[in-house]
Amino acid sequence: MTQSCERPLRPHLAGFSLVELLVAVAVVALLAAIAVPIYRDYTATARDSVLLNQINSMVVFQEDTRLRTGQYGAGEYDGARGVNTLRTTIGWAPATDDGRTYAVTADAGRSWTVTATDPSGRSRCRVFPADEECPTP
């Protein structure tokens, strides 16, 4: 009589138990709870960086305008509405039309303020030449 080397499968040993699956789901949920806020902060920082880079590129054009005319220029840029008075007043336009808007107000030759807003509604406001955040109302 020959015996088979194979052991019969016992149904209770096949697959994962409910407890094991619940532990795995809990670990994934915990990792997601940690990762999602970090990712949101990362994307917000990236959006702010793009806005601030465009604002900083505007500084050179504003200083050139003040040297030529004695005062800072004012205007706005909104590609969606086809508005770009900043090109006329200071010669500036963003490198790409990516849905961001820019509004500049000027106080003659003393200072100017720019507010840049991205398509998600996030905005940054700076006062120049001091290069400071706008005062909060």
Q: Whole-model pTM?
A: 0.71
Which domains are assigned to the chain?
15-133 (3.30.700)
Angle at 59 between CA 132 and CA 82, to 5 degrees: 110
CA distances from 88 to 61, 77, 91 (A): 11, 11, 6
- Report the pLDDT value the prediction gives residue 25, as an integer from 0 to 100: 95
* Placement of tokens 């697959």 in the chain: 15
DSSP designation for 12: G
- Report the pLDDT value the prediction gives residue 95, as an integer from 0 to 100: 84
Instruction: Say if residue 129 is preceded by a cis peptide, omega within 30 of 0.
Output: yes
CA distances from 12 to 9, 16, 18, 24 (A): 9, 9, 12, 19
* Placement of tokens 């090109």 in the chain: 87
DSSP designation for 135: P
71 and 106 Cβ atoms separated by less than 8 Å: yes
Mean pLDDT of successive 10-residue segments in the chain (137 residues)? 58 78 94 90 86 92 93 93 92 89 90 94 93 86
CA distances from 78 to 25, 57, 96, 115, 125 (A): 46, 17, 12, 12, 16
113 and 134 Cβ atoms separated by less than 8 Å: yes
- Report the pLDDT value the prediction gives residue 40, as an integer from 0 to 100: 83
* Placement of tokens 């003659």 in the chain: 108
